A and B are shown apart, each in its own frame.
Chain A
Amino acid sequence: MVTTKKTKSGTASKVDVKSPCELGSIDCKVLQIGETEYRTTLTKKFENRKFYKPADPKMILSYIPGTILKIFVKEGKKMEEGEAILILEAMKMRNIVTIPVAGKLKKIYVKEGETIPKNFLIAEVE
């Protein structure tokens, strides 16, 4: 069986395919390079690789792990580009997280005092 995963760039790469292989006991898969399908094994790192997703400016993610120190605004507020939403304290620094585009702040996903990892969804712009 062949499964094809479409990547965002539109190129198809075939992964996670079990298929017979001439090496008896070894569980071989198919890896497409260029237009040739090779029978081979895959590494953990390759199988766990993240597929590229273009950034969505309306979804505000934490760019560093840390603690939410103070939230300045309430959900539903209309904001200008660059206005402060909250303070994210990380590595002993108080980082002001601002809104990257003008718009209504649809939802805030964090509370004051909450510790969040990197790339955590903090807030969403409508």
Chain B
Amino acid sequence: MTVDLVLVAGGAAAGAFGSLLGLGGGVLIVPLLTLGFGLPLREAVGVSLVSVIVTSSAAAGVYLERHVANLRLGMTLELFTAAGALVGGLVAFALPERLLAGLFAALLAYTALTMARRGIARGPRPAEASGPAGASGTPPTPATATDAAGETPGAAAEPAPPAGPADVVAGDATRRGWLTGSNPTSSVPFVASLAGPGYAIGRFPLGVVGSVFAGVVSALLGVGGGIIKVPLMNLAMGVPLRVATATSNLMIGITASASAIVYFLRGGIDPYVAGPTAVGVFLGALAGSRAAPRIDVRILRLLFVVVLAYTAVQMALKALG
């Protein structure tokens, strides 16, 4: 098999595993390209960003069609993730590769820990393509989009909003201007207007800060950043998990795009590597999302925790030189 087809296969495996385990492509593609194919980390990040755009945009299209994603909230927050991604993309070219490898090792360790805790916290359950990390760009098939959004129907995993809708809006509206309501052009506070059916938006300023951080992380490490955005929207802002996951997918596209432009224009994306990888990840994620309802991922997840931990160690060793 030629190297290009090996890249397609590797991308497909990363896409399929990511889809089955609720992870985005980036956290798998970057180690695959650096440790498996010997690519410089920065180049792997550029390639990963393209794959993340492709998979998350495909997923976002399905979520929007089903009206699961909150377009207005997503666009408002992505203004800040994109700004963070622009800064991160520019900074990435100034940072030493070893530092980036160290940061990536920390991200892998955090992801492994999160997955292990999810595995312990949940009882036996069939395949899942969900959870916070699942926001990172798995294209759901039309048949599985709702499940892939992060929740099994009726699951009681949704935390209550941090404050009641009325408290949030009324409290903020008395303190802030344009953002929350004293704008003379509208009688509806801005943050209140971002709410969806059955939920209000709380702690908007925290959402803004967290979004900037997610954008920086995405650009530095080539990941979608859903592992930050979904908990931020769900736990801090009171957005239902399904909506948060779908909205995160929508946001990932523009976040990754802002930094991918920096990588592209600075010659940081090799089309001979990015093409096969992106095609592979897309096909793999599609296959994974179709197979998810039929696969018990508990053992797969445990195996993956081990693989992620091992990869984190390898990345850490790379960082230490």
> Do A and B make up one complex?
no
| A contact set with B: CB distance below 8 Å | none
